Amino acid sequence: MLRVSGIELTKAACLNGVIGSFPTVNAREPAELDDWLTRIAEACARADGPTAPVCPNVLMRTDPEKLDADVQVLIKHKVEMVLASVGSPQKYVGRFHDVGCFVLADVASVRHAEKALEAGVDGLVLLTAGAGGQTGWANGMSFARAVRKFYDGPLVLAGGISDGQALLAARVLGCDLGLMGTRFIATREALADERYKSMLVDSGIDDILLTRGISGIDANFLKPSIVACGLDPEVVSQPISKEKSRELFSAYAGQMRGPKRWVDLWSAGHTVSAVQQVCDVAELVDELSAEYRQAGAEALKLARL
Ligand SMILES: Cc1cc2nc3c(=O)[nH]c(=O)nc-3n(C[C@H](O)[C@H](O)[C@H](O)COP(=O)(O)O)c2cc1C
């Protein structure tokens, strides 16, 4: 997650057995990316128990020079997997495959899914309605079933996975994995501002505003953060062009006139309703796994009826 997932969150995820991901743009320069990957690999090598792989997230529509340099670092580290989002990964799929890297692509429609598969990706992340950040629009249950009609490869559901029960539901729908964002913002290891974490604890699903008015494309934001910036959620709900949004809500310090999106205007998904407290990644993973097991036992009872 942009400005949220850094080395500590990713490392803690991998050490606790869940795939840890971070957008490579969160590392300011390729040397920092190199350093993060080295330190995560070292921590995993020292761990007593099993660890999960790191899955760097490559944003395809970013500065092409930085993107090229980041990809070179990922290839040097022979990362096991990558997640490509916001644009087609076609240009890089071959280079990732040359080092045995498994390529996942974020897709928000059946057409996107077909195009990603044509580009040669190894698995799909279904970005669905209610997801934190730049959200999808398709209902998760229907989208997973629609894609399963023509694709039997690795499938990940993103958006709406609030807890272990929802994670099991994703598996029942035919997905292999679930991708969770918002729940992990409210962890001690996340880079997010402490006030952002507290706001997640205090907010519920009704506090989420779906709007194009901030980033020029559909994204979910916390209404209380919009109000705290002195803006009216009704006004911010009005769609504006990407160019205009960049002018008003630049994501980068030094370029801004108004509040900065992701920095002052905070994003969360519908899963915010499940955030009860700020905790460590290890505690969150334990909670999710206990819920998952309990949901499995309940589901067996239901299946016997
Ligand atoms: C603050 C924030 C930043 C995000 N940044 C990214 C990103 O940089 N790249 C990406 O592929 N997805 C990003 N996402 C989306 C998540 O990867 C994921 O799809 C989403 O959070 C899932 O929904 P959930 O938050 O309800 O669990 C972001 C989400 C949030 C909340």
* Same domain (yes/no): 222, 113: no
* Same domain (yes/no): 83, 227: no
Show the tokens assigned to 298: 């309940």
* Same domain (yes/no): 163, 70: yes
Whether the predicted pLDDT of 253 surpasses 80: no
CATH number reported for the structural domain that contains residue 61 in this entry:
3.20.20.70
DSSP H or E segment with residue 284: helix 281-304
| Ligand 1 contacts CB of residue 161 (under 6 A) | yes
- Centre of ligand 1 to C-alpha 234, Å, is 23
Mean pLDDT of 129-133: 97
Mean pLDDT of 270-293: 98
Q: How many domains does the chain have?
A: 2
| Predicted local confidence at residue 262, as pLDDT | 84
The single-letter code of the amino acid at 305 is L
Whether the predicted pLDDT of 201 surpasses 70: yes
Whether the predicted pLDDT of 217 surpasses 90: no
Q: Is residue 40 part of a domain?
A: yes
Cα R_g (the chain), whole angstroms: 19
* Same domain (yes/no): 210, 247: yes
Mean pLDDT of 200-226: 94
What are the tens digits of pLDDT across the range 1-33?
Answer: 999 999 999 999 999 999 999 999 999 999 999
Note down the domain range covering 60.
7-189+282-304
* Same domain (yes/no): 70, 24: yes
| Predicted local confidence at residue 241, as pLDDT | 72
**Strands ordered across the beta sheet of 155-158:** 57-59, 81-85, 102-107, 123-127, 155-158, 177-179
- Centre of ligand 1 to C-alpha 302, Å, is 32
Give yes or no for a contact between 122 and 154, defined as CB atoms under 8 angstroms apart. yes
* Same domain (yes/no): 83, 228: no
* Same domain (yes/no): 124, 236: no
Whether the predicted pLDDT of 256 surpasses 60: no
* Same domain (yes/no): 98, 32: yes
Q: What is the mean pLDDT of the chain?
A: 93
* Same domain (yes/no): 51, 178: yes
Number of neighbours of residue 290 by Cβ within 10 angstroms: 11
C-alpha 158/C-alpha 144 separation (Å) is: 10
Residue with tokens 């020292």: 46
C-alpha 158/C-alpha 166 separation (Å) is: 11
Show the tokens assigned to 112: 């996107």
Closest ligand 1 atom to the C-alpha of 160? 26
Q: Is residue 56 part of a domain?
A: yes
* Same domain (yes/no): 255, 295: no
| Ligand 1 contacts CB of residue 157 (under 6 A) | no
Q: pLDDT over 70 for what percent of the chain?
A: 94
* Same domain (yes/no): 100, 132: yes
Q: Is residue 194 part of a domain?
A: no
Give yes or no for a contact between 223 and 212, defined as CB atoms under 8 angstroms apart. no
* Same domain (yes/no): 185, 71: yes
Q: How confident is the model at residue 205 (pLDDT cuts 50, 70, 90)?
A: very high
| Ligand 1 contacts CB of residue 2 (under 6 A) | yes
Q: Take atom 30 of ligand 1 and give the residue whose Cα is closest.
A: 133
Q: Is residue 198 part of a domain?
A: no
* From 100-114, 151-165, 229-243, 279-293, the region with the lowest mean pLDDT: 229-243
